[in-house]
Amino acid sequence: MKPDRSQKRLGKSDLMVGPISYGHWRLAEGTSAEAGDKTRAALDAGMTMIDTASIYGYPDFGAAEALFGEVLKAEPSLRDKIVLATKAGIYPPTPYDCTPDKIIETCEDCLRRLNTDVIDLFYIHRPDMLTPHADVSEGLMRLVEAGKVKEIAVSNYTPSMFAALQSKLDRPLIANQVEFSPLHQDPVWDGTLDQCQQYDATLIAWSPLGGGDLMTQDATEDSQAGKIAAALDAVAARNGVDRGAAALAFTMITNPEIVPIIGTQRVSRIAEANKALDVEMTRDEYYNIVVAWRGVGLP
Ligand code: NAP
């Protein structure tokens, strides 16, 4: 088994993206010149979806978007080459507010910071327990109707939250962006991946390397993470790649419609991520990673 390297359609939309995406959670750690270098490296590697959020850069709220806005201002031709995704709904220390006016105001701020007229993919970043789904729907629909966003999606929604919000919308949620990696395999078991297939929505996998934890894990340690690292190292050694490529391949092999978002801030590692697309994994090797995560064998 190998990752499917073809372009992916996001949900039922017309948005097409490369098999791996590039995320901006950590972007504000660097300068705008560095942000430009990372963007060009991502595009050169075929990572056409750029994933940011209004909260990225916190405590400097909006800093990642503002930095990327500088890149887009300096090089406007980049805008048409990317699928630009951003998110709203998290406002520390509140922490969440998905009322229609707040979401709309945040989206308008996103547009201004990003120096763009439209967001290709706009997410509710996390569910807000205090806002009924009908109200979240109203905010999202007003943004679509105003032409400020092309497509809508959610992040960190449980399957029942996703279904409830979808039932209040006149257009499809095209994705659920959730944590998924060899270290966090819950989306396969809690109904999230099944629901994405049922609704033709895309499962977008954040932190596919466990936010870096997988890379620094001691594979000889007698722990869940140690055993996962060892199972990944076996695949990596056979393919002549590092553990990160094996982990990234695991997310894509799980289902050809899963799109992982990597978050390295090193230009060299952005290009190297594509090595994951050539990783070959046997069923035995795949299930060894699943069993290492479960802690018990499969029946
Ligand atoms: P990740 O790719 O799992 O982790 C990136 C981290 O791993 C970086 O700190 C990177 O350090 C480190 N790393 C990569 N290769 C390494 C190696 N060979 N050795 C040691 N460390 C290594 O992804 P992430 O940054 O956690 O998240 C990716 C994207 O997912 C974010 O940018 C964001 O767009 C999205 N996200 C979404 C949510 C959500 O709630 N929707 C939450 C979290 C993230 P270097 O920079 O030094 O390479």
% of the chain surpassing 90 pLDDT = 100
Over residues 82-96, mean pLDDT: 97
- Looking at residue 162, its pLDDT comes to 98
Check residue 52 and report its DSSP letter: -
pLDDT at 231: 98
Is residue 56 within 8 A of residue 63, CB to CB? The reply is yes
Per-residue pLDDT at 150 = 98
User: What integer is the mean pLDDT of 17-44?
Assistant: 96
- 156-176 average pLDDT score: 98
Closest CA to 260 of 198, 226, 214: 214
Please, are residues 24 and 56 in contact by the beta-carbon 8 Å criterion? yes
pLDDT of residue 116: 98
pLDDT tens, residue by residue, 32-77 = 999 999 999 999 999 999 999 999 999 999 999 999 999 999 999 9
3-class DSSP string for 163-214? HHHHHCCCCCEEEEEEECECCECHHHHCCHHHHHHHHCCEEEEECCCHHHHH
Q: Is 91 exposed, middle or buried (0-12, 13-18, 19+ CB in 10 A)?
A: middle
pLDDT tens digits, one per residue of 192-207? 999 999 999 999 999 9
As a whole number of angstroms, the distance between CA 15 and CA 230 comes to 37
Q: Nearest C-alpha to atom 18 of ligand 1 is from which residue?
A: 215
Best residue among 25, 86, 218 to mutate for probing ligand 1's pocket (most ligand atoms within 8 Å of CB) is: 25
Residue of 26, 204, 250 to test ligand 1 pocket, by largest number of atoms within 8 Å of CB: 26
pLDDT band at 172 (very low <50, low <70, confident <90, very high): very high
Would the CB of 156 count as within 6 Å of ligand 1? Answer: yes
Binding site membership of 21 for ligand 1 (Cβ less than 6 Å) = no
pLDDT in tens, 228-276: 999 999 999 999 999 999 999 999 999 999 999 999 999 999 999 999 9
Tell me how far apart the alpha carbons of residues 166 and 114 are, in angstroms, rounded to a whole number: 28
Nearest to 297 by CA among 213, 227, 237: 227
Active site residues per annotation: 56
Is the minimum distance from the CB of 180 to ligand 1 under 6 angstroms? no
Instruction: Verify whether ligand 1 is closer than 6 Å to residue 239 (CB atom).
Output: no
At 282, the amino acid letter reads: T
Residue 145's pLDDT band (cuts 50, 70, 90) = very high
Kindly report the average pLDDT of the chain as a whole number: 98
Q: Percent of the chain beyond pLDDT 70?
A: 100
- Rounded average pLDDT over 85-104: 98
First to last CA, the chain: 22
- Is residue 295 very low, low, confident or very high in pLDDT (cuts 50, 70, 90)? very high
Return the DSSP state at 88: E
Cβ proximity of 159 and 187 under 8 Å: no
Instruction: List the structure tokens of 90.
Output: 């998290």
pLDDT computed for residue 56 by the predictor:
98
How many residues are present in the chain? 299
Q: Ligand 1 centre and the CA of 133: distance in Å?
A: 30
Stated pTM of the model: 0.98
- Please state the rounded mean pLDDT for residues 69-95: 97
